[in-house]
Amino acid sequence: TASNSALLDVKAVAKAFSGNHVLQDVSFNVASGEIVGLLGPNGSGKSTLLNTINGFETIDRGAIRLAGNRIDGLPVHRVVAAGIGRTFQLPSMPRKMSVLEVAVAAATAHHGIWATLTRSAAARRTEQAALKKAGELLDQLLLAPVRGLPAAALSGGQKKLLGIVCALMAQPRLLILDEPTAGVHPNLRRDIVLALQALNAQGMTMLIVEHDMQFIREVCTRCVVLDRGRIVADCRPDELVRNEEVVRAYLGR
């Protein structure tokens, strides 16, 4: 079945915050190579759903699997190690570190503090590998020209690109993005679309929360729509406009 071959399989997940049922019986999956858009009005539970997938939040019921293995209940670093990378709505950047240093630090954070503290040959090899990987990713995500600048000096869109680089440093199998183009200048928005398409062409699977319909039509292969904590549609982007449940979710009733 689709569910067995899915990279990410979310099954009957429920989550409540002190009686507020934010996610109810949520089931969907993401197959390898897909770019799935997660849509829904404000407050429908999108961020909470992402939080349960990457381990920020526990679930009350259901199961979340990556390549067949349960990941719900694991701490965030174990979810990262299992293969899920995530970027955030408003990536904050350290003041003193350069773009390259931030990218390299993302790798060390995932490898654990031990590698940084012990100046062993193995640690130095890890560092060298991280430097090489960071250089390649900064190049691919169009940040090579600014790699020496303080990360805090980047534009909003460039910070989003650096956030993607950081998430990719752990070599995830699934990349989760929360509003990658929100508040980004149109020129850079184009760059982000192209960068994500290039990553996908290399095999990267993605789950993306995004409101921009043009972005969704250009980038996503499939869309899952949440309304008040329930999945109300699972369809192709071009089917969204004539899906009654989707229209109802956005226009209210």
Contacts to ligand ADP by CB under 6 A: 17, 20, 22, 40, 42-48
d(CA 178, CA 170): 18
CB-CB contact of 82 with 74 (8 Å): yes
Closer Cβ to ligand ADP, 24 or 205, answer by number: 24
Point out which residues pair with 20 in neighbouring strands. Answer: 17
Positions 27 through 46 that interact with Mg ion (CB under 5 A)? 46
d(CA 196, CA 216): 12
Among residues 24, 47, 52, 181, the one that binds Mg ion under rule CB under 5 A: 47
Site string for Mg ion, 143-182 (x = CB under 5 A): ----------------------------------------
Closer Cβ to ligand ADP, 102 or 233, answer by number: 233
Beta strand 174-178 pairing with 205-209: parallel
Closest contact distance (angstroms) between CB of 149 and Mg ion is 29
Closest contact distance (angstroms) between CB of 56 and Mg ion is 12
Helix axes 156-168, 99-111, angle to 10 degrees: 30
Closest contact distance (angstroms) between CB of 47 and ligand ADP is 3
**What is the contact surface with Mg ion in residues (CB under 5 A)?**
46-47
